[in-house]
Structure 1
Amino acid sequence: MSATSADTLDSSVLRMVRTHTQSDNPSSFLALNTGNSHFTVPGVDGVVVYRRTGRHLVQFGGVFAAPDAYGKLLSGLRQYARDERLGLVSVQLQRPDAEQYREAGFTVNQIGASWAVHLPEFTLRGTRFMQLRNKISRALRNGLTVEEVPADNVEEALRTIDSAWLGSKGDHARPLEFLVGQVGGPAQPHRRLFVGSIAGAPVSYISYSPVFGQRAGWMHDLSRRIPGGSPGLMEAINAAAIEKFTAEGVEWLHFGFTPFTGLAEENELPGHSPAFQWLMHFLWAEGAALYPAQSQLEYKEKWAPHVVLPEYVAFDGPASIAGFAHIFRACNAF
């Protein structure tokens, strides 16, 4: 067994993420983020992606492996954590992952959901999208132009946008990592970047990550804008990207994972923690200071998603506040 830190693009990890898609995790490309660590077992074709925070391993997205290797890697990771006397918590598991973890003895609970639009069915026509069309039109009337560009061509502009965006969040705001994408780095050639400009100056952008599996397509990932200015910037950029993706024959646009959303009793597995289930519902209602789930969901619902995919967290042992908190530590939230 081996655990390694990777800040360069590992072609074997990319191959595993592309190939082992049984769980259809729309966020699987985040496994390629710089700053992640990889766990492997000799002779086993698969990988586990994680970050260490304090005395915990926070594992991302289940096990990327063939079905006959899945259990071996999960068992190996669990033993590695125990040998190192570390807690183990796994996040952004899809339903097939969640069932495997439950069978292995983990405590598994729904933590949120991800959302997806089937592009062949999508249209902005009709009264349902009147407000969305108005916001997009307003941004365009205010001079917004949208262009897909290589990230290398706009590095300085992106830094300016990022700095202004983060500054608007308050003195103690930190850029999120791990469960969100990146712009730049070794994996950037596999992403797509759409930039919105006014009077030739970039003011906003959306990065899209590839999605593999049965609902292959792109994921609306990192998005930022200079505060103030025209409304409708992000909506106009995403509409332009949808138009381009649809012309290319792309089937799915995913909107990624939002914690505390899409919670439903029927999504829970046997043996889940009722106390942790209560906490997720409480954070949906009252947890905006921890994560703005309601405003994130409001944006996603503007696009009338066709599919809602429950996502799960798994604890090696009872569900714990400490393990949950370490997920947010791994994300650089605090």
Structure 2
Amino acid sequence: MSSAHTLEKAGPGNSAPAPAAHESAAHDTVLHAIRTHTQAEHPSAFLAMSRGTSAFTAPGLDGVIAYRRAGRYLVQLGGPFAAPQSYLPLLDRFVAHAHEQDLRVVGAQLQRHDAQAYAERGFTVNQFGSSWVVHLPDFTLRGTRFMRMRNKISRAFRNGLQVSEVSPDDVSGAIRDIDAAWLGSKGDEARPLEFLVGELGGTAQEHRRLFVGTIDSRPVGYISYSPVYGERAGWMHDLSRRIPDGSPGLMEAINSHVIDVLRDEGATWLHFGFTPFTGLDHGNEMPGHSASFQWLMHFLWDQGAALYPAQTQLAYKEKWAPQDPIPEYVAFDGPASVAAFAHIFRACNAF
């Protein structure tokens, strides 16, 4: 049996809340890893701090692996957030830990350097989608390209929109109302996503920033921003929701206000996070990738809106003139498996 530890954070992914001291230890361990090990740069690394996401560690190794269990799979977020000398040993310990329980590993949102390492370790690795980022010093809404968005933003502000940075505790009731209205507009079977999507609250909230839009003192939408560490440090446009049938341009207006705030503070990068099935390119694939799974990703881009609205999400991100897409990958512990892939979405509470 391998010697290892799993640190769990209280939240919807666990059957019972963890003791406060244990939760604090998990928080500190994960935060140190994603802040320190910039060779494992990952724009969505802060999602490892979410409640209900476990952190795998091993004695003598400097790093963590963030994951959730779904059925017979351990679903991993990114690669190991680890020191270079600990990266591969920690991955090997994690795989052994899964196999000892007759479980398999499937990794989601691996970066390219992760994908190469996993492929060399015998995983089947395919591009899963891409993440998107804007370089703030170069960003401008001037020009004909942005005319339509400028008009929508202006309309939202003419309708009385005001944007302010707040604490979630101060607007908790309003946030619940917005969430309920937003989820209700998605249909009876809609479920709030987790794991690969951010959250509000918990011990990690002190590191996030929340901006709320109000009209006539009534909150009508919000965007939460999470910190990003590494060479392209900055913020990630993360969890965002609005009331249905509100003023056009609400989210664009909130985000444009935040861009001004971040740029005034000297921030360089605004990340828009990962969108599955987007930015797909054969040139991004790893040696030994699955041709059939590659076909599936392209099919889901064309026809998979019921699973995830990738085209809608990409349309919003492309409004901000992002840099070239950053490919992200899925890695299978063995051959590519539709069952394993489905369990990524199960870990996300999609079904």
Same fold by TM-score greater than 0.5: yes
Indicate the residue corresponding to 2:75 in structure 1: 58
Instruction: State whether residues 151 and 184 of structure 1, in contact with CA within 8 Å, keep that contact through their aligned partners in structure 2.
Output: yes
Shift of 1:326: 0.2
Q: Secondary structure at the match of 2:325?
A: strand
| Aligned pair partner of 1:97 in 98, 105, 114 | 114
1:165 aligns with 2:168: no
Indicate the residue corresponding to 1:292 in structure 2: 309
CA distance in 2, matches of 1:166, 1:117: 28
Letter in 2 for 1:312: Y
Instruction: State whether residues 98 and 104 of structure 2, in contact with CA within 8 Å, keep that contact through their aligned partners in structure 1.
Output: yes
CA distance in 2, matches of 1:250, 1:37: 30
Q: Percent identity?
A: 67
Instruction: State whether residues 79 and 114 of structure 2, in contact with CA within 8 Å, keep that contact through their aligned partners in structure 1.
Output: yes
Indicate the residue corresponding to 1:4 in structure 2: 7
Indicate the residue corresponding to 2:18 in structure 1: none
Structure 2, unpaired ranges of 5+: 11-22
CA distance in 2, matches of 1:126, 1:204: 27
Shift of 1:118: 0.2
1:142 aligns with 2:198: no
Aligned residues: 334
The RMSD of aligned alpha carbons is 0.7
Structure 1, unpaired ranges of 5+: none
Letter in 1 for 2:62: D
Matching of residues 100-249 of structure 1 within 5 Å: 100-249=117-266
Indicate the residue corresponding to 2:37 in structure 1: 20
1:252-305 deviation line (CA, Å, top 9, x unaligned): 000000000000011001110000000000000000010000000000000000
CA distance in 2, matches of 1:39, 1:249: 35
Instruction: State whether residues 23 and 95 of structure 1, in contact with CA within 8 Å, keep that contact through their aligned partners in structure 2.
Output: no
1:268 aligns with 2:285: yes
Letter in 2 for 1:238: N
Shift of 1:184: 1.1
Shift of 1:95: 0.4
CA distance in 2, matches of 1:281, 1:313: 14
Shift of 1:3: 2.1
Shift of 1:71: 0.4
Shift of 1:48: 0.5
CA distance in 1, matches of 2:88, 2:167: 40
Matching of residues 67-86 of structure 1 within 5 Å: 67-86=84-103
Query: TM-score by structure 2 length?
Result: 0.94
1:100-143 deviation line (CA, Å, top 9, x unaligned): 11111110000000000000000011111101101100111111
Superposition misfits of 4+ residues, deviation over 6 angstroms? none
| Aligned pair partner of 1:37 in 54, 66, 79 | 54
CA distance in 2, matches of 1:333, 1:187: 23
Indicate the residue corresponding to 1:48 in structure 2: 65
Instruction: State whether residues 95 and 104 of structure 2, in contact with CA within 8 Å, keep that contact through their aligned partners in structure 1.
Output: no
